Amino acid sequence: MNEKKIRLIVILIAVVLHLLVLLFFAFDLDKLVQEEFESARIMKLTDVDIIPPPEPEAPPVEEIAENMIESDTPDTNIVAAGTLEEYIEQRFLSTTPVFDMNRIANELIYPPIALRSGIEGRVVLELFIDRSGVVQRVTVLREEPEDRGFGEAAVRALIGRQGIPATSNGENVSCRYRFPVTFRIR
């Protein structure tokens, strides 16, 4: 009887070992480990090289000359080259714009309705800043709570504000910059 138990145990161990060997051949463990490693890798957006799109080919001068119409009156719809600014996204900036936070805080007017109600709020703005550091346009991205006047107050305090301009590769650039403003009752 003892000998039968030993044989049974040996057979079970052999079956288990065979199953393990089959599993190792059926599944590529290196591939599974590599897939887990790939999914765990984190990539910074700043490390990605951005390749600009190719320049569109200009038509030959002869084609342009054939399509031109002569006129005595000047065209008022022509915009001088370089007057339209392209606003660079915040993630592509070397340095972000800097504003005097004390002056902004002093010029922020707490909305009277929210002040009387004892409501505090938070606004996220998108500032469009030109290359000289002046806020040209402000868009309210989020206002919490809505319709209490926090967005309008923040826009009034920041529109036309002068600051230190943003830079990219050592040059002043026009940019879009997200700017949070928190309203607290003192």
The tens digit of pLDDT for each residue in 22-49 reads 777 776 656 655 555 555 444 444 444 5
Say yes or no: 31 and 99 in one domain.
Answer: no
- Domain of residue 169 covers 90-183
- Phi, psi for 185 (deg, rounded to 5): -85, 130
Looking up residue 152, the CATH number of its domain turns out to be 3.30.2420.10
pTM recorded for the entire structure: 0.51
Cβ–Cβ < 8 Å for 107, 183: no
Instruction: Clarify whether residues 96 and 29 are in a common domain.
Output: no
Same structural domain, 179 and 94: yes
- Residue 36 counted as domain residue: yes
pLDDT bucket at 56, cuts 50 / 70 / 90: low
What gap in Å lies between CA 106 and CA 20, rounded to an integer?
A: 73
- Four-point Cα dihedral 94, 100, 106, 107, nearest 10: -60
Mean pLDDT, range 92-118, rounded to an integer: 85
DSSP 182: E
DSSP SS3 for 166: strand
